[in-house]
Amino acid sequence: MDAWMIWILIGIVFMIAEIFDPAFFFISLGVGALLTGLIMLSGFAKGMIWLQIITFAIISFIAFLFTRKIAKRFYKGAEVDTNVFALKGKSGHLTKAIPADGRGHVKIEGEEWSAISSDGKEIEAGAKVTVIGIDGNKLIVEKI
């Protein structure tokens, strides 16, 4: 089996691997191997494995840089906060009053969270509040 055939085969294997791991990593290796195979087909570096490997490495690196830029354009969709950070901007009511510079409890969307006042002042139980920030596992709230 000729060297160019081996490089083409390696490129195809990397392209198939990209289907199962869409991180845009294997595709750059696949492009590098395929182009190295095509270069080997022209007779360049025949019998010089070190030059073939260097060619593969350079092409793969360049392909990696370009595929990352392209991937960032496609995946620039709306980023959505998750976990506790998704509560930012939501409203709820206090189930336990927040004393001055202390902690209380707020219920938001059926879940109860530990909360502190944004200005350090007391907020009475039952008051309607909005989450303006997160501090560790505490919600920072202000009275509406």
Supply the pLDDT for residue 79: 64
Which domain CATH number covers 106? 2.40.50.140
Instruction: Please identify, among 74, 108, 135, the residue that sits at the C-terminal boundary of a domain.
Output: 74
Question: Is residue 68 domain-shared with residue 101, that is, in the same domain?
Answer: no
Question: Is residue 59 domain-shared with residue 89, that is, in the same domain?
Answer: no
* CB 97, CB 122: distance < 8 Å: yes
Q: Give the C-alpha separation, 20 to 25, whole Å.
A: 11
* CB 92, CB 108: distance < 8 Å: yes
Q: Phi-psi bin for 98: left (phi > 0), alpha (psi -120 to 50), beta?
A: beta
Question: Is residue 97 domain-shared with residue 135, that is, in the same domain?
Answer: yes
Question: Is residue 88 domain-shared with residue 69, that is, in the same domain?
Answer: no
Question: Is residue 65 domain-shared with residue 8, that is, in the same domain?
Answer: yes
Question: Is residue 16 domain-shared with residue 45, that is, in the same domain?
Answer: yes
Supply the pLDDT for residue 25: 86
Q: Give the C-alpha separation, 122 to 142, whole Å.
A: 10
Q: Give the C-alpha separation, 33 to 61, whole Å.
A: 11
Question: Is residue 45 domain-shared with residue 101, that is, in the same domain?
Answer: no
Q: Give the count of domains, the chain.
A: 2
Residue 49 CB: number of other CB atoms within 10 A? 9
Question: Is residue 107 domain-shared with residue 67, that is, in the same domain?
Answer: no
The one-letter code for the residue type at 104 is G
Domain that holds residue 54: 3-74
Question: Is residue 41 domain-shared with residue 24, that is, in the same domain?
Answer: yes
Running along the chain, 144 residues long, what does each successive block of 10 average in pLDDT? Answer: 93 94 87 95 86 95 88 68 81 94 92 92 94 91 92
Question: Is residue 109 domain-shared with residue 129, that is, in the same domain?
Answer: yes
Q: What is the pTM of this model?
A: 0.53
Question: Is residue 89 domain-shared with residue 29, that is, in the same domain?
Answer: no
Q: Give the C-alpha separation, 140 to 131, whole Å.
A: 6
Supply the pLDDT for residue 81: 66
